[in-house]
Amino acid sequence: MPRTSIEDAVARPAGLAETIARVRAEISNACQGAQRDPVSVTLVAASKLVVADLLVQALGAGHRIYGENRVQEARQKWPALKARYPDVELHLLGGLQTNKARDAVLLFDVIHSLDREPLAAALARQSAQHGRRPRVFVQVNTGGEPQKSGTPVPDADRLIAVAREQHGLDVVGLMCVPPAGAPPEAHFTLLAEIAARNALSSLSMGMSGDYALAIEYGATHVRVGTGIFGGRPAQRARELPKR
Ligand SMILES: *Cc1c(COP(=O)(O)O)cnc(C)c1O
């Protein structure tokens, strides 16, 4: 049976450091092409379904910024790793249930998936209660896909305003996941437009297949999973619920 890329990475610890370096170099290239400073792009290593052994390798290679999709999985994996690497910065990339707002506020430094007002209210309440104020991206469902998280495009301006003004959240930018298999350019452009008219400076867009392109369109945060860690177990990935 052919080895999976994850098995390969485990077998060759140096491989992961090299892979991360290669992704960083591609980010630098894309920045150069777009006449941007490479420090203006943050690489978030999307580590859903990635086991702790591999994370230790990536941490050993010096990478400190990781994104998880599910609160429960992050709670199982990260407290022990954070104890060893206190300068880890943890991002929540997946949709968030309102009843998990407490855990999310306690665990994550950045939340990319604010997409409705009740969640903004819950995050504000938990922030006040726990004295933690994660930075927040409003996720916009630029493709209008019913199965996806994200606020509908027509509601985005209002949600941004309410999250900031009514709930006092630290809204730093917008996030999108364009429809799979479609050209992402129009989605990147739309997200950048909504951000510009709301004076938001951060854009979380671009994944393994299109992060160089996203950087051309102004991405400040790229979320790269398979491009760093290799393929995720397909069946478990399919079982991931919407939020
Ligand atoms: C899984 C995931 C990523 C990373 O996807 P890859 O294609 O593996 O790079 C980025 N963003 C979100 C929201 C994800 O769920």
pLDDT tens-digit readout, 66-112:
999 999 999 999 999 999 999 999 999 999 999 999 999 999 999 99
Q: Would you say the CB of residue 5 lies under 6 angstroms from ligand 1?
A: no
Task: Please write the tens of the pLDDT for every residue from 195-213.
Answer: 999 999 999 999 999 999 9
Q: What is the SS3 assignment for 78-121?
A: HHHHHHHCCCCEEEECCCCCHHHHHHHHHHCCEEEEECCHHHHH
Q: What is the pLDDT of residue 231?
A: 87
Tell me how far the alpha carbon of residue 201 is from its chain's centroid. 16
What is the average per-residue pLDDT within 191-196?
Answer: 98
Q: What is the pLDDT of residue 162?
A: 98
- Pocket residue to mutate for ligand 1, from 223, 224, 232, most atoms within 8 A of Cβ: 223
Three-class DSSP category at 38: helix
Q: Count Cβ atoms below 10 Å from residue 229 Cβ, excluding itself.
A: 26
Task: Please write the tens of the pLDDT for every residue from 148-175.
Answer: 999 999 999 999 999 999 999 999 999 9
Q: Would you say the CB of residue 208 lies under 6 angstroms from ligand 1?
A: yes
Q: Would you say the CB of residue 225 lies under 6 angstroms from ligand 1?
A: yes
Give me ligand 1 centre to Cα 166, in Å: 31
Q: What is the pLDDT of residue 1?
A: 44
Cα separation, 191 vs 185, whole angstroms? 10
- Pocket residue to mutate for ligand 1, from 93, 141, 204, 229, most atoms within 8 A of Cβ: 93
* Of the candidates 171, 209, 169, 168, the residue with the CA atom closest to the CA atom of residue 188: 209
Q: Count Cβ atoms below 10 Å from residue 201 Cβ, excluding itself.
A: 11
Cα separation, 141 vs 154, whole angstroms? 10
pLDDT higher than threshold 50 for residue 5:
yes
Run of H or E residues at 72: helix 71-84
Amino acid at 39: V
Give 195's Cβ-side CA count (13 Å radius): 27
pLDDT higher than threshold 60 for residue 6:
no
Cα separation, 3 vs 96, whole angstroms? 34
Specify the pTM: 0.92
Q: What is the pLDDT of residue 12?
A: 47
Q: Count Cβ atoms below 10 Å from residue 200 Cβ, excluding itself.
A: 19
